[in-house]
């Protein structure tokens, strides 16, 4: 099998073509564990909220008509016939010429259609209130279904749950949510030179596995669940076997494919033997990250990442993270922070290729960090990255660029 057999794709083509139909199964989680999870279906209100006409101010429940024409000079005088207690049905009603004391959040008594704010009243004599301004019907009140009507969608399927969503669900008495399971992402590292991070003394030529830990972080960021699958030597049968085991316990398999040509080829071969339809593309029009393999084997997507840590992480952000969201039922990943900055120096690029350039921000200026894609420290020193899109042949010094920020 030759690498040349497979076409290079743009990132956009890869995202369209590499779009497994399946989502993870639904599961029920308590509200306290639902932040960031993706509802598998719309959650609908069984009853209106707040459920009763409710005062939004401290003041007096009145008939609005009784306040028409009221002013500082000529107040309306109303008899105070009682007070509403928080959390209880009022035991008084409001008739013409009367008012009832209201706390914010109290139930509007029968007969009243508005609440006058306490700031616009005087209670100069016990039992009588002077209203100094008119209030319109509905003033100072939310209706029983102003927040949510019965049957309305509280939170939609497909959008990760935010803090406010949890509040609205709690208000509606929904204490469990049916969400997509976190996509399990198997992370497999290859290379005869790669040893576990816990290795204290390295032999000459050995390197500790950096990619697996960093990928696990990106998987968590994308709402997935990393499944560490260890390190496999550059040995085709061992690799096939490890890939098969990884696929069996994951919704997505990510393999850092070894950095040498030989290692890359054996990954491609192992993937190709694993199932249908097999390899979708071998080569992404992105720098760093060209030697990327995208495959689907019997319904499980497989990403073969370049062996260099920087390249691997750039590609996983571009292609892997959106896929993890999609597997969880979320078509549009949450937005990422960004900032506009002025480029300090020219950035060369090639037309037809997407360049991802790590940058440091210094006072509103974006300073590109160059360095071999083998260097992980370029990534940890960066505040974010800029993208030179496919049609451009580079960016000039002084250009205004959008920098996606790491958080």
Selected from 61, 132, 172, 359, the binder of a second copy by CB under 8 A is 172
Cα 153 off chain centre by: 20
Q: Is 101 in the site for a second copy (CB under 8 A)?
A: no
Contact region for a second copy (CB under 8 A) — 63-71, 127-135, 209-217, 243-251?
Answer: 209-217
Q: Is 315 in the site for a second copy (CB under 8 A)?
A: no
Of 13 and 29, CB closest to a second copy: 29
Cα angle 93, 95, 100; round to 5: 55
Q: Is 188 in the site for a second copy (CB under 8 A)?
A: no
Residues 255-294 that bind a second copy (CB under 8 A): 259-263
Selected from 198, 276, 363, 396, the binder of a second copy by CB under 8 A is 198
Selected from 38, 132, 179, 211, the binder of a second copy by CB under 8 A is 211
Burial string for 361-372 (b: 16+ CB within 10 Å, else e) reads: eeeeebebbeee
Residues 317-356 that bind a second copy (CB under 8 A): 334-339
Q: Which residues pair with 51 in a beta bridge?
A: none
Residues 1-20 that bind a second copy (CB under 8 A): none
Looking at residue 38, what DSSP letter applies? -
Q: Is 89 in the site for a second copy (CB under 8 A)?
A: yes
Q: Is 372 in the site for a second copy (CB under 8 A)?
A: yes
Minimal distance in Å, beta carbon 298 to a second copy?
Answer: 29
Sort strands 54-55 and 59-62 into parallel, antiparallel or unpaired: unpaired
CA distance 99 to 113: 11
Selected from 39, 160, 223, 289, the binder of a second copy by CB under 8 A is 160
Residues 137-156 that bind a second copy (CB under 8 A): 142, 146-148, 154-155
Of 238 and 275, CB closest to a second copy: 238
Residue 248: which residues within 8 A CB-CB, separation 6 or more?
none
Question: Are the CB atoms for 108 and 53 separated by under 8 Å?
Answer: yes
CA distance 16 to 20: 10
- For CA atoms 269, 275, 276, 280, the dihedral sign is negative
Minimal distance in Å, beta carbon 260 to a second copy?
Answer: 4
Q: Is 103 in the site for a second copy (CB under 8 A)?
A: yes
CA distances (Å), origin 364, targets 131, 241, 270, 338: 55, 50, 47, 12
Selected from 25, 127, 204, 363, the binder of a second copy by CB under 8 A is 204
């Amino acid at each position: 099998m030759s690498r040349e057999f497979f076409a290079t794709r743009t990132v956009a083509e890869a995202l369209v073509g590499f779009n497994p139909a399946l989502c993870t199964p639904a599961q029920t989680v308590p509200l306290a564990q639902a932040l960031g999870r993706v509802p598998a279906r719309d959650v609908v209100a069984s009853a209106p909220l707040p459920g009763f006409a409710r005062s939004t101010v401290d003041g007096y429940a009145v008939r609005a008509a009784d306040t028409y024409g009221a002013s500082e000079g000529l107040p309306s005088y109303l008899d105070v016939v009682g007070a509403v207690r928080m959390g209880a049905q009022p035991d008084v009603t409001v008739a013409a010429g009367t008012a009832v004391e209201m706390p914010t959040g109290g139930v509007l008594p029968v007969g009243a259609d508005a609440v006058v704010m306490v700031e616009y009243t005087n209670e100069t004599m016990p039992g009588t209130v002077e209203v100094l301004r008119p209030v319109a019907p509905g003033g100072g009140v939310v209706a029983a279904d102003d927040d949510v009507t019965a049957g309305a969608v509280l939170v939609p399927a497909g959008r990760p749950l935010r803090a406010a969503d949890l509040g609205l669900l709690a208000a509606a008495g929904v204490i469990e949510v049916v969400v997509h399971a976190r996509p399990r992402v198997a992370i497999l590292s290859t290379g005869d030179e790669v040893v576990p991070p816990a290795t204290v003394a390295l032999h000459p030529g050995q390197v500790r596995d950096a990619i697996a830990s960093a990928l696990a972080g990106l998987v968590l960021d994308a709402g997935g669940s990393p499944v560490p699958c260890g390190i496999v030597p550059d040995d085709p049968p061992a690799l096939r076997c490890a890939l098969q085991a990884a696929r069996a316990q994951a919704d997505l398999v990510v393999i850092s494919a070894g950095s040498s040509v030989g290692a890359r080829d054996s990954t491609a071969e192992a993937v190709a033997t694993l199932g249908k339809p097999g390899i979708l593309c071998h080569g992404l029009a992105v720098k760093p990250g060209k030697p990327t393999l995208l495959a689907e084997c019997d319904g499980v997507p497989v990403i073969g990442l370049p062996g260099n840590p920087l390249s691997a992480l750039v590609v996983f952000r571009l292609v892997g993270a959106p896929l993890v969201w999609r597997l969880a039922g979320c078509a549009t990943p949450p937005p990422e922070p960004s900032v506009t900055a002025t480029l300090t120096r020219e950035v060369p690029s090639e037309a037809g290729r997407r360049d991802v350039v790590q940058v440091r921000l210094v006072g509103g200026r974006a300073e590109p960090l160059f360095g071999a894609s083998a260097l992980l420290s370029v990534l940890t020193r960066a505040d974010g990255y800029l993208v030179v899109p496919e049609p451009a042949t580079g960016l000039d010094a002084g250009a205004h660029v959008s920098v996606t920020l790491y958080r």
